[in-house]
Amino acid sequence: MRDNAHEYFKYELVHECAQTGARAGVLTTPHGMIETPIFMPVGTNSAVKTLTCDQIEDTGAQIILANSYHLYLRAGTKLIKKFGGIHGWMNWHKPVLTDSGGFQVFSLAHLNKITEDGVEFRDPKDGKKHFINPEVSMEIQQDIGADIIMAFDQCAPYPCDYDTAKKAMERTHRWLERCFKAKTNPRQALFPIVQGAFFDDLRRESAAVISSYDAVGYAIGGLSVGESKDIMNHFTEFTAPLLPKYKPRYLMGVGTPEDLLNGIKHGIDMFDCVLPTRNARHGSFFTWEGKKNIKNKEFHEDDRPLVEGCNCYTCKNHSRAYLRHLWRCGESTAATLLSIHNTKFLIDFAKKARQAVMEDRFGDFYNEHYLSLIHI
């Protein structure tokens, strides 16, 4: 089965690093080009927490992610559609990706009822019943109007036994066919998702099934759900080469600096994570020497920026001492300034990795930075 979006989307694999499996590419969408590898900031409710769209754009973000589950429950997708879709709704004119909400629905284990048709669940805030299946998910995401939409999949719980993982994977495959049949908008690309939990043979089978669909790109789901970093890295390395070489590969919900390094090394092109803003709200900021916290007393008289040489708004204008003062005073501006820095740090990190790929030195880049980042 072929996605009807190929007229509006194109992926070019520009270069493969001679030292590793790292790749550099360009994905063209109706709202602009995306240079990969790329980190995508997460705006769950159509806003990256504490940041305006202008501030997000200033970080160099080429694409942001929103969550259709939350938008469906809170704003209502018909309202968003009235505003011309998510681009008009939030006044963001670059590409947007929406998750299907499957992960959120299945994480409500005590509030949901799963059948072959779909999932009935209760809103954890008000207890109201809702129902989502592949057809409803496609309707929701087409109303929202993101450039890239995700298949409605069943993410197996962690940990789980083999039979549970296999049943969830097989249902994901059956639902994928229904997603492609329900999806009609050619200006949206539908990415299938590899499942299979933590079993090599299931991951291999799932990758083969979803690769049989002629999609614009493909995603790896079901990782970063509580497993160790070693397990996550194994399944990233194992799964990525099983997906089509000349299509973008998206590792869902993964985005620490060391995760980017490992993913890029094994051929991943797209990443997203809430950590830049979540860490900022707890006072943490990214550096090339690992994660630090602005609350620490050592920064009381520190006149340096968060990271020397960083050209984000925060580092160009404010000292560590000032930011610590804001934090200690409970000023919300502190979280905003740290969010700006953390978001730009990861976006620039991906850009530097891309440059290393283009220059056939990503292996050296990896070795130079990995050990100092593993504590982030």
Q: Are strands 284-287 and 290-293 parallel, antiparallel or unpaired?
A: antiparallel
Q: Single out the residue of 106, 7, 41, 14 nearest to residue 354, CA to CA.
A: 14
Q: Which of 99, 143, 147, 153 is catalytic?
A: 99
Residue indicated by tokens 């990190």: 349
* CA angle, 293 then 298 then 303, to 5°: 95
99 included as an active-site residue: yes
Is 214 known to be catalytic?
A: no
- Options 3, 153, 272, 360, the catalytic residue: 272
Q: How many whole angstroms separate alpha carbon 195 and alpha carbon 166?
A: 9
Helix axes 200-211, 162-182, angle to 10 degrees: 10
CA distance 265 to 158: 26
Asked whether the beta carbons of 326 and 299 are under 8 A apart, the reply is no
The CA angle 128-129-134, to the nearest 5 degrees, is 135
What are the residue numbers of the active site?
99, 272
